[in-house]
Chain A
Amino acid sequence: MQRRDFFKGIMAASVAASAAPSNLLAQQVATPAAPPPATPAPGPVPWMRGLMEVKPLPISQLSADAVAQTNANFFTGIQLATLRRLSEILAPSSNGYPGAIEAGAPEFLDFLIGVSPSDRQQMYQSGLDRLEAEAKQHFSVSFAAVTADQADQLIRPWLRTWMNDHPPTDPYELFINLAHSDIRTATVNSQAWSDAAHRAGAQTPNTDLYWYPVDPDLHHEGSTQTHSVATYPRPS
């Protein structure tokens, strides 16, 4: 139920409740079997009074990223350092638009991957581990410390072109190319990117029609995985 409808419903209930005592008395005399009225809210004042008259607050959209840091706690310290360097390499700032680091993309991906299915988590973790191992093997430094040229040698051989819904199938190729795509998306979908677009005189990018849950089922329990007997009368 939408908030507005919720208020309307409550308002109606409150109005009915405040009018109830005299009605109830009359009904008790005339029709003793009448159902009891809705239970009134406790206290002398209807709880929802005046809410229908409230004007919407002039709140402009502010994402928490504008003022707060994401606490990265899924990847290990080394994995996150690798992801940060990878993000810096793949999506640097340019032309007044933020890079992945300024957009908080690595920390956001730490959150996103941390709540993702396990196959996605493993793909990221093993991919980051391999980048680190290859940096040490070839350049004797952590990936977090590789130069741009060294990073290019480690990354470019794995880059592929691919079409929607059909990323590469080799696990490491998949990691490099999906991580690239994810880092870019986390960057261009950030508020920092949107702010940069505004400064450049452009419209808010990546805007679309968002659907709220439509009349959501509050009892939603999902599949119970077992059969129960339907309760309507069946023909014998």
Chain B
Amino acid sequence: MAEETVDVLIIGSGHSGGMAAKILTEKGISCLMLNAGPVADVHKDTEVKPAYTLPFRGFKQPGQLPHVFQSNEFNANTWVDEKEVPYTYEPQNPYNWVRVRLFGGRSLFWSRASFRLSDYEFKGKSHDGYGDDWPISLADLDPYYSRVEAIFRVQGQKTGLPQFPDGNYVLDTSPWSVSMQRLASAAKPRNIHLCKQRTSLGINGLASSVNLLLPDAFATGKLRAIPNVIVRELSVDKNTGLVNEAHFVDRLSRREMSVKARIVILAAGTLESTRLLLNSNLANSSGVLGHYLADQIYGAGIVCSVPDARDGKSTPELMGGSGILPRFRNIDTKAKNFLRGYSINVWGGTGPMDPRNFATYGVDLEKKLASYHGSGISTGIMGEVLSRYENHVRIDKDVVDAWDIPVLHIETKYTDNEFNMARDSVDTALELADAAGFEVLSKNYNPNPPGYSIHELGTCRMGDDPKTSVLNKWNQSHDIKNLFVVDASSFVSAGWQNPTMTISALAMRASEHLAEEMRRGNV
């Protein structure tokens, strides 16, 4: 029977766990990684198929994955089955918890959007008085962002906008299309800037822990990993108060096992890390564990057509490319009915348009689709959801998952701040479309349900005061010095930005701090 005590136990294998493994093993520290799901092999697990050969003809299997709007019949088997790992909420406040447990986690499937937070986010309270500042600033994270951007090969352009901090980019030299230039001209007088997207190129387009981070960690010979094991609970040494053991269950056989560790790093994804701490009844002297759940508003936007791209006249020079209008509200002026800000993604293309943009049918619809082919431009909001104490998760004492692990009850909802922000973003997009000469076909003011962005943030927030935060500024538990949480649960505020660069930079910074503390014998 194994009696080994591992040096560092990392729970989770996505960008945050992968980064922790890379940094620590490259410094010679032995790590054991546990992951709740199997290792996917695209060569073995996938096949290119036409929709008509699938059991439901390309429709999603009815009743399957009702909260994963991103799922379809092709990819349904990549998501966590909601029946296998349920969660609960009050019917009037639904939450879309979108999860992947394959090795590599959600780093396998993400949009590659690669932004830094600015000090309008890190120091939001200092700017507008709401919420709390982070215990760190952009200057603290800047060198780590730069190194992460190099690893991920982030393509972008520098803009000099303080709310859209520049990074270490593979320079994007592509020209703007004519339609994007029209949008930029419409935006500029309104002090709104159309910028190039910032996107991780990764390797062969994949920017996952399984190809950018974990190979380096395995190459050191210091990383071992066990797939298909689900951590049920952590326990602490009664004498020292330090975490010393993880209890897990084999996903397939349901055999219960335990492993001893000197240091534990949680990187299971925001809500799973918090669920594990809540189920372990640990690290919550502050009482804020599980609280301040935030994310970003998605779903509100418009669909337009560029008139001179219709009837076969669409070209990449006229219609191609995408861009972003980074946050422009509440920078130098004050919006009338909401705090913080949002960005608008803009994307065009030369492909077919969605028939939903035309209120007609039959032959007339086919004519419309043919005429409008290649003329579409769409916008979508990415808006900051305010961090609020009352938006929280707790353990549901009445429901367990397929491995008898108590599940989360999620209690969160959007308020007027989010709805007003969404409305402002659509009205702004309509104004810009009109000024640019685009025909608006469809619009939607309603955000998707909370959680949809797959950017769940907070619930283990960091701070200098142990009475109001779970982690210190090094992602280290205030209560338990050998416990670190390196995923996005540490976020103090959400920002509008896709969080992957910030998660990865924080995980890198926390792991280097941990390595130094280990060298000094402090943990």
Contact = CB atoms under 8 A, between A and B. Distances in A.
A189 B83 contact: no
A166 B69 CA distance: 11
A92 interface: yes
A85 to B, nearest CB: 13
B250 to A, nearest CB: 10
Interface string A87-121: 00111101100000000000010001001110010
Contacts of B362: 89-92
A207 B46 contact: no
A69 interface: no
A4 B448 CA distance: 41
**What's the interface size class on A, roughly?**
35 or more
Contacts, number: 190
Interface stretch (A25-33, A36-44, A135-143, A226-234): A226-234
A165 interface: yes
6 contacts: A182-B59, A185-B57, A185-B58, A189-B51, A212-B45, A215-B39
Interface in A189-205: 189-191, 193-194, 204-205
Interface of B: 37-40, 44-54, 56-59, 62-63, 66, 69, 73-78, 81, 83-84, 86, 102, 228, 232-233, 235, 238, 247, 251-254, 256-258, 299, 301, 303, 354-363, 366, 397-402, 404, 406-407, 441-444, 446, 448
Contacts of A126: none
Contacts of B354: 164
Interface stretch (A14-22, A45-53, A75-83, A154-162): A154-162
B207 to A, nearest CB: 18
A217 B233 CA distance: 21
Nearest to A63: B52
Please list the 4 inter-chain residue pairs (A to B) with the smallest Cβ-Cβ separation, ordered nearest first: A215-B38, A116-B62, A159-B359, A189-B51
Nearest to B363: A94
Contact of B102 (A214, A221, A224): A214
A54 interface: no
B52 A190 contact: yes
B75 A211 contact: yes
A67 interface: no
A197 B99 CA distance: 36
A205 B355 CA distance: 16
A210 B54 contact: yes
Contacts of B247: 230, 232
Given A90-B362, A94-B366, A214 B45 contact: yes
A156 to B, nearest CB: 8
A222 interface: yes
Given A65-B52, A207-B51, A222-B402, A235 B238 contact: yes
Contacts of B45: 2, 211-212, 214
A225 B252 contact: no
Contacts of B44: 2, 4-5
